[in-house]
């Protein structure tokens, strides 16, 4: 990842189709389209590749989460359990629904700790939302068992793990619903975009309506459509869908490249006893968008970061010190800095978050370094990077 590294003729062809017919909107204008429906084509292709009955494209991965939570009936008074390590969109979407995000510890998978999930369940819990961070998956068997035991819904935020799988099933297809992001730095990009996938037909109908102002999309006259439900505007454009349609034709190649490059780097770092790797519940299903490893201490992790800089190694993160992906720096959430008044229920649910501690997550995150796996690296470049990473780490040991 990211897919934009390998833009080419496929994307240009799909974009030109849209520009030549002039219809940039995914709905309506049937007579002008000359048979081109890029969003619909991309949805059908996603359904085929992920083995699901329904896919609903949206304007972003965040919008996909908003839509998924809405069709699952999540709202005021509900609680959604999510990990302390994720992108800010996870809690933003929950709060936008009126529900309360309940943040819990991660484990050595860098995703939800099932024991922490179970301990956080209350009478208000409605959804468990694992986030498959950095290309790999949560412990889905354990989380599914917890959801079944407590009659909860499972929503997979798979935005960073496109193309990954778990025991033969595609990530995103395993829960009651799943979401992906197609923003500019994802494995498959639309520039901006996202999708909700599900096997629940009611969710699918409502997702189609909710993402387009509640339109029922019946008939061929958009002006005559009715509005069975309230909705919002989370539509993807035909231009963005066209880019994604070109990209997804390369999906298998992209994942193969990621796995090849990931393998070279991991094998090289495996020669260093002090380096350990994140636990992957199903190694064969890792999409390999990132290589994530741990140093024995936070101090050594910080030294590795400095050594990487000195050795000209780019595209890596120590997320413990990152503003976007770990709760430690989410002061805007902790202080509830909202432009509009939050509900009393939400404020009550978040009142202790500033003082909440995550010692297990702090330990894993402070020792973790995650390296982006680029698609554009040549074999020589990957080998050279591996050698420089090993040299850099050994220089501080």
236 and 325 fall within a common domain: no
We report the CATH number of the domain holding residue 377 as: 3.90.1150.10
71 and 28 fall within a common domain: yes
% of the chain beyond a pLDDT of 70:
100
Enter the DSSP assignment of 104: E
Mean residue pLDDT across the chain: 97
36 and 172 fall within a common domain: yes
Residue finishing a domain among 215, 250, 285: 250
168 and 41 fall within a common domain: yes
Residue finishing a domain among 232, 250, 268: 250
171 and 199 fall within a common domain: yes
Enter the DSSP assignment of 302: H
pLDDT of 115 over the 90 cut: yes
Cα separation, 69 vs 347, whole angstroms:
19
Spot the catalytic one: 13, 40, 167, 186.
186
123 and 256 fall within a common domain: no
283 and 209 fall within a common domain: no
Please give the residue range of the domain that contains residue 168. 3-250
Cα separation, 228 vs 207, whole angstroms:
12
Express each pLDDT in 20-67 by its tens digit.
Answer: 999 999 999 998 999 999 999 999 999 999 999 999 999 999 999 999
276 and 232 fall within a common domain: no
pTM for the whole structure: 0.97
237 and 264 fall within a common domain: no
We report the CATH number of the domain holding residue 92 as: 3.40.640.10
79 and 214 fall within a common domain: yes
Express each pLDDT in 345-397 by its tens digit.
Answer: 999 999 999 999 999 999 999 999 999 999 999 999 999 999 999 999 999 99
282 and 207 fall within a common domain: no
Other CB atoms within 10 Å distance of the CB of residue 341: 8
227 and 271 fall within a common domain: no
Respond yes or no: is residue 186 known to be catalytic. yes
Residue finishing a domain among 223, 250, 277: 250
Express each pLDDT in 236-248 by its tens digit.
Answer: 999 999 999 999 9
Instruction: Please count the structural domains in the chain.
Output: 2
Other CB atoms within 10 Å distance of the CB of residue 326: 26
């Amino acid at each position: 990842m990211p897919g934009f590294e390998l833009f080419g003729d496929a994307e240009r062809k799909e974009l030109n189709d849209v520009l030549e017919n002039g219809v940039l909107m995914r709905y309506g204008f049937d007579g002008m389209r000359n048979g081109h429906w890029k969003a619909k084509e991309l949805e059908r292709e996603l359904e085929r590749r992920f083995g699901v009955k329904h896919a609903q494209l949206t304007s972003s991965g965040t919008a996909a989460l908003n839509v998924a939570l809405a069709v699952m009936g999540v709202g005021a008074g509900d609680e959604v359990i999510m990990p302390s390590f994720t992108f800010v969109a996870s809690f933003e979407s929950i709060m936008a629904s009126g529900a309360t995000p309940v943040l819990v510890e991660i484990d050595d998978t860098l995703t939800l700790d099932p024991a922490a999930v179970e301990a956080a369940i209350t009478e208000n819990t409605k959804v468990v939302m694992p986030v498959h961070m950095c290309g790999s998956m949560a412990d889905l068997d354990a989380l599914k068992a917890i959801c079944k035991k407590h009659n909860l819904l499972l929503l997979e935020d798979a935005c960073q793990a496109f193309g990954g799988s778990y025991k033969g099933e595609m990530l995103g297809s395993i829960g009651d619903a799943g979401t992906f992001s197609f923003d500019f730095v994802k494995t498959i990009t639309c520039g901006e975009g996202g999708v909700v996938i599900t096997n629940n037909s009611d969710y699918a109908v409502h997702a189609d309506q909710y993402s387009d102002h509640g339109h029922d999309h019946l008939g061929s006259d958009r002006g005559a459509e009715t509005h069975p439900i309230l909705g919002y505007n989370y539509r993807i454009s035909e231009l963005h869908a066209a880019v994604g349609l070109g990209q997804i034709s390369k999906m298998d190649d992209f994942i193969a490249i990621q796995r090849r490059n990931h393998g070279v780097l991991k094998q090289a770092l495996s020669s260093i006893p002090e380096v350990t790797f994140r636990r992957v519940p199903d190694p064969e299903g890792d999409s390999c968008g990132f290589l994530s490893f741990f140093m024995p201490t936070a101090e050594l992790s910080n030294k590795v970061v400095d050594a990487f800089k000195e050795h000209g190694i780019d595209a890596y993160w120590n997320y413990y010190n990152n503003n976007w992906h770990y709760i430690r720096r989410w002061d805007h959430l902790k202080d509830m800095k909202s432009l509009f008044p939050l509900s009393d229920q939400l404020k009550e649910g978040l009142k202790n978050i500033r003082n909440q501690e995550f010692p297990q997550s702090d330990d894993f995150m402070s020792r973790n370094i995650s390296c982006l796996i680029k698609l554009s690296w040549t074999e020589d470049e990957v080998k050279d990077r591996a050698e420089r990473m090993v040299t850099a780490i050994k220089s501080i040991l």
